[in-house]
Amino acid sequence: MTPFEVKDCALLIRMSGLAPASNLRELRDRIAVCSGNALFHHYCETTLRTTFDNPDYRNDFAVWAKLYLGDRVLAERLGILDPYAFHTMGELRAATLEVIDERLGELTMVPWARPGDELFFMESTTVVFDTGIRIANPSRLGATIRKMTNSSVYFHFLEARRRPPMQVDDFTSWLMDCGEEYRPYIDAVSSIDFYFNSLGFLRRELARVLASVKGTK
């Protein structure tokens, strides 16, 4: 069994270089041309920010539509888009534009945000480094996760879904290689609805469900 290499990452956020969007049409135009990294940032990296705890929606576009455009219909439609369900950023971009175009077609006026409430397009660079920590056996996975940084959990459990094998987290990927007897661990990890939880909660939840598997063995 190949040990699991625990990595960590640090994100640095930067401006995308695009002018901010101050109305729905500008939002549409910016999303059409922004980089895949910017799209990923506004859909997926929200978990690393304080504003992630906004109780309504999990991506910046939906939150902005609700709070600053005052368009709850659009917010709901954007809010349900699950970025991890798309194989590529191009597919996610197309789905987002489809929702916005549909909404623009329904409205008689383009909703706009007040000065100071514009949406700024950002992206990030992720610096990944090896922590030197190795997990030799799945039975140690939960205890090790409990001591990980939130950014380590983000890298292995969320960001991993963007890397090959696509849509699979690193823990599951490793457990699948460990053998069929570790299937309960895979099931435990997959039982977590990761999309609606903060990283701190995910870390604790992963540790808990993995510990419960160990307890039943």
Partner 1 sequence: MSSPIAAYEGVVGSAVLRQLRQLGEKLTGTRIVHVNSTREGGGVAEILEWMVPLMNDLGLQASWEVIHGDPRFFEITKSIHNGLQGHNVLLSGKDWRIYEDVNARNFERLRPVLEEADVVVIHDPQPAHLLQLCDRRKGKWIWRAHIDISRPFRPVWKTLRTITEKYDASIFSMAEFAQLLPHPQFLVPPSIDPLSEKNRELEPSEIEAVRSEYGLDPSRPLLVQISRFDRFKDPVGVIAAYRLVRKVAPVQLVLAGGGATDDPEGKAVLEDVMEAADSDPDIHVLLLPSSSHRAINALQRLSDIVIQKSTREGFGLTVTEGMWKGKPVVGGDVGGIRLQVVNHHTGFLVNTPEGAAHRIRYLLHNRSRIGEMGSIAREVVREHFLLTRHLRDYLTLMLVLSKDSREHAFEV
CA pair distance 148, 146, nearest whole angstrom: 6
Site for partner 1 in 26-55 (CB under 8 A): 36-37, 40, 49-51, 53-55
**Spatial contact of 111 and 119, defined as CB atoms under 8 Å apart:** no
| Token pair of 152 as six digits | 């380590």
Question: Can residue 164 be called a binding residue for partner 1 (CB under 8 A)?
Answer: no
* Cβ pair 60, 119 in contact under 8 A: yes
109 binds partner 1 (CB under 8 A): no
Helix (H, G, I), strand (E, B) or coil at 113: coil
Contacts to partner 1 from residues 75-104, by CB under 8 A: none
Nearer to partner 1, 157 or 182 (CB): 157
| CB 15 within 8 Å of CB 103 | no
In this complex, which beta carbon is closest to partner 1, that of residue 7 or of residue 156?
7
Of 6-14, 73-81, 94-102, 172-180, the segment contacting partner 1 by CB under 8 A is: 6-14
The answer to whether residue 173 forms part of the interface with partner 1 (CB under 8 A) is: no
Which of 11/176 has CB closer to partner 1? 11
The Cα–Cα gap between 25 and 77 comes to: 16
Task: Report helix, strand or coil for 23.
Answer: strand
Which of 8, 71 has the CB closer to partner 1? 8
Work out the number of other CB atoms within 10 angstroms of the CB of residue 70.
12
What are the φ/ψ torsions at residue 105 (nearest 5 degrees)?
Answer: -70, -25
Any contact of residue 190 with partner 1 (CB under 8 A)? no
Rounded CA-CA distance 110/20 in Å is: 16
DSSP 8-state secondary structure symbol assigned to residue 147 = T
24 or 122, CB closer to partner 1?
Answer: 122
Among 85, 107, 125, 212, binds partner 1 (CB under 8 A): 125
Q: How far apart are CA 114 and CA 83, in angstroms?
A: 28
What is the C-alpha radius of gyration for the chain, rounded to an integer number of angstroms? Answer: 19
Residue 13 or 107: which CB sits closer to partner 1?
Answer: 13
Residues 140-159 touching partner 1, rule: CB under 8 A, are 147-152, 159
Question: Contact region for partner 1 (CB under 8 A) — 10-18, 21-29, 69-77, 80-88?
Answer: 10-18
The least distance separating partner 1 from the CB of residue 145, rounded to whole angstroms, comes to 11
User: Which stretches of the chain bind partner 1, using CB under 8 A?
Assistant: 7-15, 17, 19-20, 36-37, 40, 49-51, 53-55, 116, 120, 122-132, 147-152, 159, 200
